[in-house]
Amino acid sequence: MENKRLPALNELYSDKELAVKNNDLNILLNHVPDPKWIKEHPFIKNLKYIPIERVEWLLTTIFTKWWIEILDSKIIGNSVMVTLRLFVLDPIEGVIMHNDGIGASPLQTDSGAGAIEFNKLKSGAVMMAAPAAESYALKDAAEKFGRLFGKDISRKGQVNYENLENKFPKIDDFENEDDKTI
């Protein structure tokens, strides 16, 4: 197989200005979240998370318009599971984008009750578990936008997104980039 020259990224995009704007959005979305936003889970050891109110604030601040659609909810074992679709308005192109998320929350039961002993459910168990599962699903969907929303927060390995800052030359340099590669 012949070694062919790989195309430079700037050769692949027909709308260079749009490519740079989308990359700038990726830089924002993959910025490390403020350490003050990160909390330790009260029940799960070594699990860090960003609270739902901060996620909702970020969605409103960055995308200005967002909404969810519940795709499914069900009881599995002793938990409520919710699957949803998070829709956002792309701030650059004005089109609607979406990510799916899944979340679950346990149903509270009497002490010592088995996972499927539904006659031992606490009063209001579903009323508490369903919204919690929805919040977990919303956070799961939002994390897919980037580290700012909590992606990678509890992962052992971290992906380096800092190289996004040098992904494209300045707009003015696009016309002068004949044979350079990125």
Averaged pLDDT for residues 41-61:
92
Give dist(CA 146, CA 150) in Å, integer.
7
Give the pLDDT score at 179. 43
Averaged pLDDT for residues 23-48:
90
Report the Cα–Cα distance between both ends of the chain, in Å, rounded.
23
Side chain identity at residue 44, one-letter code = I
Q: Which two tokens stand for residue 160?
A: 């380096």
**From 1.10.3470, 1.10.10, 1.20.1070, 3.30.390, which CATH number describes the 14-163 domain?**
3.30.390
pTM: 0.83
Residue tagged 């990678």 (tokens)? 152
Domain ranges across the chain: 14-163
